[in-house]
């Protein structure tokens, strides 16, 4: 159930106000740090003297610990965002992942414990910190912008932020892997100083003093059928995005071989091109939503574009590495509804659960990469790379399309309400 607030009117702000700019820069640093391990995984573990087999097994272990941190951090920061305020998450999360990334830069000098264990621990801490950035930023921006600018503002945050992946890729090309970690941590500390001038959401201020309101109750998503349905559909919207990133881009070298491409396909480059497209798509999605006066139509259109691009990627007979990278660019544009999907998650729920929803939903989607990659690896030996990828894709798009067709429309929805 939902109820409107009867408190004083909430003051809104402009599209290029400090909260929007700082949220965009925060997500930029977040994406830089989130993808950095994937980019430096091989060179960093090679420098520690690991064998190729150990690089595969220990690298997977470290990555899994980072993902566990994201899942747990999503719940932690989401609850804190509703109980203690949006700014508490924006400050706490960036301190956590900035210090963790600086600590990763010191890995070559670690002597007091096993370096791989230390690496895994620091990536877990970084994952916890990284989990809070996007959800808290989108929640704050959604609440401080007027309704007519909300979609454009949140798209601006993600569109600028996702270019952090491109910067991460070229930073590793220019500097040693541990210096790249120091740079990421330094950017976070610098952003922390910029955030001092950001003020709390007026909507949250109106609710925070009311102790009778149940704020940040994660289990509330599972105690009401309508709320549970909305929450699951929010997660379902995002599944195709990480099918593209976690399967098609991450394992692009395997797909390249299966397609008969003779040139070496580099997954890091495929992921970079995917994120270039993703940034562009995110910037466009807000304007598309505004033009169509519908979140659902905008997401559905981009999702169907992604489906078509996936078919071309798998069955279109790509014959060169360049063609595959351009397919990744197109796929990235298609999943450019990432910011829109998080915005929908924020708009679906009342002020007392909004940060919890917007922070946990994208991290639940990231966590679903594990079952998707497990299914892919399980099917691949008997059905082959292309068929395995197609099977995972059919499931991902079936869930995504069903979710977007049945989730309530939120375009133009007022945000000043509570979940009861």
Q: How confident is the model at residue 197 (pLDDT cuts 50, 70, 90)?
A: low
Residue 9: pLDDT band (50, 70, 90) is very low
User: Using one digit for the tens of pLDDT, what is the confidence trace for 108-160?
Assistant: 888 888 899 999 999 999 999 988 877 777 777 777 787 777 778 878 887 78
Identical fold, 12-199 and 218-410 = yes
Whether the pLDDT of residue 301 is over 90: the answer is yes
DSSP string covering 44-55: HHHHTT--HHHH
- At 415, is the pLDDT very low, low, confident or very high (cuts 50, 70, 90)? low
Distance separating alpha carbons of residues 149 and 144, to the nearest angstrom: 10
How many CB atoms neighbour CB 267 within 10 A?
18
Of the candidates 213, 347, 246, 237, which has an alpha carbon nearest to the alpha carbon of residue 298?
237
Angle at 84 between CA 80 and CA 86, to 5 degrees: 80
Task: Detail the DSSP E strand segments found in 224-326.
Answer: none
Please list, in sequence order, all residues whose beta carbon lies within 8 angstroms of the beta carbon of residue 175, skipping any fewer than 6 positions away: 183
Ordered by start, the domain boundaries in the chain are 12-199, 218-410
CA dist., res. 83 & res. 101, Å (int): 27
Dihedral angle computed from the Cα positions of residues 1, 416, 414 and 239, in that order, rounded to the nearest 10 degrees? -60
d(C-alpha 362, C-alpha 133), whole Å: 11
With a cut of 90, say whether residue 310 has pLDDT above it: yes
Evaluate whether 134 touches 357 at the Cβ level (below 8 Å): no
81 within 8 A of 359, measured Cβ to Cβ: yes
DSSP-assigned beta bridge partners for residue 4: 417
Residue 269 has pLDDT above 90, yes or no: no
Distance CA 238, CA 404 (A): 10
pLDDT one-digit tens code per residue, 199-253:
554 444 555 555 555 666 778 888 889 989 999 999 999 999 999 988 899 888 8
Gap between the Cα atoms of 165 and 206, Å rounded? 37
> What pLDDT, in 10s, does the model give residues 335-389?
999 888 888 888 888 877 887 888 888 888 988 888 888 898 889 889 999 999 9
- Please check whether residue 82 is in contact with residue 354, taking contact to mean a CB–CB distance below 8 angstroms: yes
Second-level CATH architecture of 12-199: Up-down Bundle (1.20)
Dihedral over Cα of 224, 225, 231, 232: its sign:
positive
Burial 372-385 (b: 16+ CB within 10 A, else e): bbeebeebbeeeeb
Architecture of domain 218-410: Up-down Bundle (1.20)
């Amino acid at each position: 159930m939902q109820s409107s607030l009867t408190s004083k009117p909430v003051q809104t702000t402009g599209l290029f106000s400090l909260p929007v700019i700082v949220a965009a820069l925060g997500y930029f640093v977040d994406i830089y740090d989130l993808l950095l391990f994937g980019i430096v995984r091989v060179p960093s573990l090679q420098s520690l003297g690991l064998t190729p087999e150990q690089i595969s097994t220990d690298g997977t272990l470290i990555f899994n610990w980072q993902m566990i941190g994201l899942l747990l951090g999503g719940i932690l920061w989401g609850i804190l965002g509703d109980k203690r305020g949006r700014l508490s998450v924006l400050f706490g999360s960036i301190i956590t992942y900035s210090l963790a990334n600086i600590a990763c830069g010191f890995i070559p000098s670690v002597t007091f414990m096993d370096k791989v264990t230390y690496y895994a621990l620091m990536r877990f801490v970084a994952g916890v910190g990284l989990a809070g950035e996007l959800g808290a930023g989108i929640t704050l921006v959604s609440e401080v912008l007027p309704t007519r600018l909300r979609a454009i503002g949140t798209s601006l945050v993600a569109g600028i932020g996702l270019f952090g992946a491109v910067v991460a890729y070229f930073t590793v090309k220019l500097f040693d892997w541990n210096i790249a970690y120091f740079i990421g941590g330094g950017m976070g500390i610098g952003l922390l100083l910029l955030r001092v001038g950001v003020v709390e959401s007026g909507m949250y201020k109106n609710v925070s003093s009311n102790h009778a309101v149940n704020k940040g109750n994660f289990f509330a998503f599972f105690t009401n059928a309508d709320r549970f349905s909305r929450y699951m559909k929010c997660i379902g919207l995002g599944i195709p995005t990480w099918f593209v990133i976690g399967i098609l881009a991450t394992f692009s070298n395997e797909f390249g071989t299966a397609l008969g491409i003779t040139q070496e396909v580099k997954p890091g480059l495929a992921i970079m091109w995917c994120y270039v497209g993703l940034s562009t798509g995110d910037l466009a999605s807000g304007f598309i939503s505004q033009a169509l006066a519908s979140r659902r139509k905008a997401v559905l259109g981009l999702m169907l574009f992604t489906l078509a691009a996936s078919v071309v990627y798998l069955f279109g007979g790509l014959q060169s590495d360049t063609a595959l990278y351009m397919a990744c660019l197109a796929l990235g544009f298609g999943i450019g509804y990432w910011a829109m999907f998080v915005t929908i998650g924020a708009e679906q729920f009342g002020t007392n659960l909004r940060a919890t929803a917007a922070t946990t939903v994208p991290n639940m989607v990231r966590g679903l990469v594990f079952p998707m990659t497990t299914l892919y690896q399980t099917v691949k030996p008997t059905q082959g790379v292309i068929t395995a990828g197609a099977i995972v894709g059919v499931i991902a798009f079936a869930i995504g399309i069903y979710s977007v067709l049945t989730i309530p429309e939120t375009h133009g929805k007022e945000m000043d309400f509570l979940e009861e």
